[in-house]
């Protein structure tokens, strides 16, 4: 019988916009976890089958889970998702970005508890006067049947995840700015993102 849930962490490695290797940030003190280790620790509370997709697996000997290289170089997160889903072969795959410093077991448990009526269950932050909205495809659930769609997109060079998500007609988990989970989906793309989280005292 196929296992119910696996998890693939999309860890990339180039961090062009951030300016340094954000995966190695120790946001919880000098001797605390790195950002990637934090993501792994949270993921392992949800599944005992976790893999990490990254460009430099030999640089992370301390990690205790399978490390995968992207199925296609320089194809973005989609290549990591395909590599991870091929390795896991589980009925559902939880896909997580490695740059979510506020990622929590509570957020993921609520996602996993949602009734599933589609090939994908994807959070969508709702826009308001202060915040932009949008899909969160790197904190989402994908059924095994999504893999052929992802592989086809990878083969034809259609790497944009948001376009693929819309084609799958996913089940939406709407998250408004007043939701306790809204900040948990804040990722670190630039140094300004880190400063913003520090300013509101969540880091």
Would the annotation count 22 as a binding residue? yes
Residue 75 in tokens: 């194809």
Give the ranges where 33-158 is alpha helix by DSSP (H).
35-43, 77-88, 105-113, 147-155
Helical axes 147-155 vs 161-168, angle rounded to 10°: 140
Query: Residue 81 annotated as binding?
Result: no
Tokens of 187: 């990722």
| Residue 21, annotated as binding a ligand | no
The answer to whether the annotation marks 11 as part of a ligand binding site is yes
**Residue 70 in marked binding region:** yes
Distance CA 15, CA 21 (A): 6
Detail the residues annotated as belonging to a binding site for GTP.
10-12, 22, 70, 99
Binding residues: 10-12, 22, 70, 99
Known binding positions for Mg(2+): 99
């Amino acid at each position: 019988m196929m296992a119910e849930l696996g998890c693939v962490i999309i860890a990339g490695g180039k961090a062009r916009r951030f300016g340094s290797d954000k995966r190695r940030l120790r946001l919880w003190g000098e001797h605390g976890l790195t950002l990637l280790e934090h993501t792994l620790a949270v993921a392992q509370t949800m599944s005992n089958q976790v893999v990490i997709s990254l460009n430099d697996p030999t640089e992370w000997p301390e990690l205790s889970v399978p490390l995968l290289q992207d199925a296609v170089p320089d194809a973005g997160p989609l290549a990591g998702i395909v590599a991870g889903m091929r390795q896991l072969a589980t009925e559902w795959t939880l896909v997580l970005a490695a740059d979510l410093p506020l990622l929590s077991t509570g957020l993921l448990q609520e996602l996993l508890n949602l009734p599933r009526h589609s090939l994908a269950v994807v959070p969508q932050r709702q826009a308001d006067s202060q915040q932009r909205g949008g899909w969160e495809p790197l904190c989402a659930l994908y059924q095994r049947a999504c893999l052929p769609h992802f592989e086809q997109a990878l083969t034809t060079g259609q790497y944009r995840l948001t376009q693929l998500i819309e084609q799958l007609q996913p089940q939406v988990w709407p998250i408004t700015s007043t939701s306790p989970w809204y900040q948990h989906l804040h990722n670190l793309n630039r140094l300004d993102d880190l400063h913003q989280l520090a300013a509101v005292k969540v880091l």
